[in-house]
Amino acid sequence: MSEKYEQLKALLAEVADLNSAAAVLGWDQQVNMPPGGAEARGNAQATLGKIAHIKATSEEVGRLIEDLKAEFAGADPDSDEVRFVKVASRDYDQATKVTPEWVAEFAVVTARAHEAWVEARSKSEFSIFQPHLEKIVELGKQFVAFFPPSDHPYDILLDQFEPGMKTADVRAIFESLRPKQVELLRAIADAPQVDDSFLHLHYPDKQQWDFGVSVITKFGYDWKRGRQDKSPHPFTTSFSINDVRITTRVLEDFLNSALFGTMHECGHALYEMGVNQAYERTPLNGGASLAIHESQSRMWENLVGRSLPFWEHFYPSLQQTFPSQLGNVDLNTFYKGINKVEPSLIRVEADEATYNMHIMLRLEIEIGIVEGSMAVKDLPEIWNTKMKEYLGVVPPDDAQGVLQDIHWSGGMMGYFSTYALGNLVSAQLWEKINADLPDLADQIREGKFDALLGWLREKVHRHGRKYEPQELVQKITGSKIDAAPYVRYLTRKFSDIYGL
């Protein structure tokens, strides 16, 4: 390989190392750090972020990228080397538009905001978090201003998480999806409701934790390259292909939270662990986008974890773990209970049929904030009004309403739509997987996940950031992101459960 290519790899490897170090600090902040450490942690993250940004945007990096574009002209456009340069060029182009000072300030502000969010959520007082969120919104608008005008200012934020996707694209997908989901929800509402009271009994923390660990171990989570801890909001973080950590949240009065949260985060981790080892410390490491990432987490959580074949294997073990709670609950009742459709307050615990409604609500609010048609101070009221409109329920307090998600405290405006897009991609992939692995249901029924994980590793995981999301989905399924498979999946599943 050329000397310039090796030079660029070496420079960007240092940037990757700095970003990994910052990620360790972020993980520690949410898992171990005492609240009083927020100020110092913010300063440390600001320093690392600023140094990484300066290195990533150096003139030397820019020259090497341009030289390598010329050198690789005419080469295989899908080769790792050409794709490395293409991704590095996109990253460089975006990073050079943003000032190091903004990067440093963003790190300090979000570190403080996280601790304020934790306190505000615990006390259910939005006013504690409000000034921090106002500063984050201000920084978000500054970030948008660094870039050339786009069709919509929200495009710039969305592109950070979903490269190539436009606000108009997401709105079009959601507008086609929403009436179909509403139609399904109305049909379910007219059917006899299923019983899930047994999920709301007392389930001791340790047994929940141990059962979740046993499940994701069978999925293929590599404990030599990962660990699980507790945090206020479940998340996955990657410091390396060989160090990918997850967290979960255990509620002793609701079985679903830790159980499906653990599966969800494991799906993210399996993706990161499956990236081609040759991409370590390069721009190709990581997921293609947040929608592709969410397709993996939602697939393991829902299409696998909430399926009947899955519980035909695991339910006897769960009954043995919780005999007094589940001993008299038969498999079919349990399966229907964990898939109960009911408008609820908390997104991460929402059923599959209502989940996307939570996302559409958040997307509308984020767009309103960016456009300036909504003010941060009004968000609790706006949130509650839209919850009533979208789901027919009103949060009794801020903790179960506007404060429930961690994302805004980390400055992640533009993220939420990727959850719904991930749902759509998961169903597209699932149809292709079942065509390629016609006995998949039987394998899951036997507690075997090697073939499924192997398919995902080959088709999705190993490519890392090599392909843009729409490009990757097209390569695998033959079409770009499409809502139809997800609608088919939901209709088939819930028609069976509710006898529609």
- At 445-499, the pLDDT tens digits run 999 999 999 999 999 999 999 999 999 999 999 999 999 999 999 999 999 999 9
Evaluate whether 233 touches 406 at the Cβ level (below 8 Å).
Answer: yes
Domain locations along the chain: 3-149, 167-498
- At 58-74, the pLDDT tens digits run 999 999 999 999 999 99
Evaluate whether 49 touches 41 at the Cβ level (below 8 Å).
Answer: no
CATH topology assigned to domain 167-498: Neurolysin; domain 3 (1.10.1370)
- At 360-381, the pLDDT tens digits run 999 999 999 999 999 999 999 9
Contacts of range 44-48, beta carbons closer than 8 Å, 24 or more positions apart: 45/107, 45/108, 45/111, 46/103, 46/104, 46/105, 46/107, 46/108, 46/111, 47/104, 48/18, 48/19, 48/21, 48/22, 48/107
- Site of tokens 């088709």: 459
The catalytic site residues sit at 265
Please report the pLDDT score of residue 1 as a whole number: 65
Mean pLDDT, rounded, for 426-443: 98
d(CA 142, CA 135): 11
Q: pLDDT band for 172, please (50, 70, 90 cuts).
A: very high
Please report the pLDDT score of residue 38 as a whole number: 87
**CB count, 10 Å around CB of 94?**
17
Mean pLDDT, rounded, for 160-185: 92
Mean pLDDT, rounded, for 105-118: 93
- At 80-91, the pLDDT tens digits run 999 999 999 999
Please report the pLDDT score of residue 92 as a whole number: 97
% of the chain surpassing 70 pLDDT: 100
d(CA 462, CA 296): 13
pTM of structure: 0.92
d(CA 291, CA 470): 10
- At 27-36, the pLDDT tens digits run 999 999 998 9
Q: Is the pLDDT of residue 79 over 90?
A: yes
d(CA 47, CA 293): 28
**Residues contacting 242, CB < 8 A, separation 6+:** 225, 273, 280
Mean pLDDT across the chain: 95
